[in-house]
Structure 1
Amino acid sequence: MEIYGKITKLLPLQTGQGKNGTWKKQEYLLEYGDQYPKTMVFNLWGDKVDQYALTEGDNVTVFFDVESREYNGRYYTDVKAWRVDKGDSQAAPNQAPKAASNPSTGTEFGQPAPAFLSGDEKDDLPF
């Protein structure tokens, strides 16, 4: 999955010691959407924290997986990013695609318009 937005806040870096050595996790608050902005928290683990070096105000496209787990009868969900692209290279995903200038011509796909769309025929339906 992917989403485009702006990083509005970096949450405190979390570190710890596990059976495989030290680990670190950085969480980010991402604002997305145009007219009614929404926010979500995503995280980066390990070397990816240093690899992407994200800061507040960065416009990014986040590629992520959503994972849930059960602990003591409750469920917890993480949005784990596996790739982050910086920059404004992508248009906002909520923009509607541009409509064809004259859809009745049928030239959008290089085909002629059907005869019933020409508009110059008399309506000969009995009702």
Structure 2
Amino acid sequence: MQVSGTLKVLKETTAVNDRFKKREFVLEDNSSQYPQFISFQLTQDRCNLLDGANQGDAITVHFNLRGREWTSPQGEIKYFNSLEAWKIEKGAGSGNSSQREPEYETHPPREKDDLPF
């Protein structure tokens, strides 16, 4: 999956433990009637993909949707989703609807049907 927009928030890389690090960022997507603020994360060696990026930069994020189940100490089951970015294209489209292709299909005109029924 991918989405384009403007880099709204860029956090520093944090070490969750001695073997795992992550970096969170927020993309502002203006392709619909109301702006959407979408939170993503980069993990491990991908944390540096946004080095040199600044708030306000136009980017395209390629990502995977991840989901997991967690059982609390009280036995309650909860579900969590995360958007794992794996590729960032800097200077890409800002996600404005004017830059997107139409969301409808166009078909060539049908040939005239000569059948009597």
- Name the TM-score, length of structure 2 as normaliser: 0.70
In the alignment, structure 2 segments of 5+ residues that lack a partner are 72-76, 103-107
Cα distance change on mapping 1:76 and 1:52 into 2, 3 Å:
same
In the alignment, structure 1 segments of 5+ residues that lack a partner are 99-108, 117-127
Q: Which amino acid aligns with 1:17?
A: N
Match of 1:66 in 2: 65
Alpha-carbon distance in structure 2 between the residues aligned to 1:58 and 1:24:
24
Give the secondary-structure state (helix, strand or coil) at the position aligned to 2:97: coil
Alpha-carbon distance in structure 1 between the residues aligned to 2:101 and 2:63:
25
Cα distance change on mapping 1:80 and 1:97 into 2, 3 Å:
closer
User: 2:97 aligned with 1:94, yes or no?
Assistant: yes
Give the secondary-structure state (helix, strand or coil) at the position aligned to 1:49: helix
Match of 2:55 in 1: 56
Aligned length: 102
Cα distance change on mapping 1:87 and 1:17 into 2, 3 Å:
same
**Larger RCO of the pair (alpha carbons < 8 Å, separation 6+):** 2
User: What is the CA-CA distance between 1:46 and the residue it aligns to?
Assistant: 1.4
Match of 2:74 in 1: none
Alpha-carbon distance in structure 2 between the residues aligned to 1:85 and 1:28:
14
Match of 1:81 in 2: 85
Percent identity, aligned pairs only, is: 26
Match of 2:39 in 1: 41
Give the secondary-structure state (helix, strand or coil) at the position aligned to 2:48: helix
- Name the TM-score, length of structure 1 as normaliser: 0.65
